[in-house]
């Protein structure tokens, strides 16, 4: 399955799921099953990614994922960036 097809599938999952993280987890499972090579490539990119965490007061954290192949994105409102969401972001970046 081409990366653009996975991107379209992710958009469908976003409409159905209750959250972005839930849709990303489902997409990650589908990609791992359909294309293990693509999943391995994306996982390698996730391991190269650097994270910047900032605190904006008591218990208010935002996390940015920094990688040259990843477009600048909004921060994740937590101290840790979910790997499944990062997986989906890389997949979408690869499809364009």
pLDDT tens-digit readout, 30-71? 999 999 999 999 999 999 999 999 998 888 899 999 999 888
DSSP state of 61: E
> Following CA atoms 67, 71, 74, 75 in sequence, which dihedral angle do they give, to the nearest 10 degrees?
0
Is residue 75's pLDDT more than 90?
A: no
Average pLDDT, rounded, for the chain: 89
Domain that holds residue 90: 3-94
Is 45 in contact with 90 (CB distance < 8 Å)? yes
3-state DSSP call for residue 51? strand
Domain total in the chain: 1
- Tell me what pLDDT residue 49 has: 94
**Quick one: pLDDT band at residue 86, thresholds 50, 70, 90?**
very high
Is residue 89's pLDDT more than 70?
A: yes
């Amino acid at each position: 399955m081409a990366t653009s097809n996975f991107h379209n599938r992710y958009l469908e999952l976003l409409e159905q799921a209750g959250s972005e993280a839930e849709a990303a987890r489902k997409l990650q499972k589908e990609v791992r099953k359909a294309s293990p090579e693509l999943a391995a490539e994306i996982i390698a990119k996730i391991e190269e990614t650097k994270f910047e965490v900032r605190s904006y007061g008591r218990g208010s954290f935002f996390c940015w994922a920094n990688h040259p192949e990843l477009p600048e994105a909004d921060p994740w409102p937590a101290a840790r960036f979910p790997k499944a969401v990062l997986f989906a972001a890389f997949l979408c970046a690869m499809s364009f």
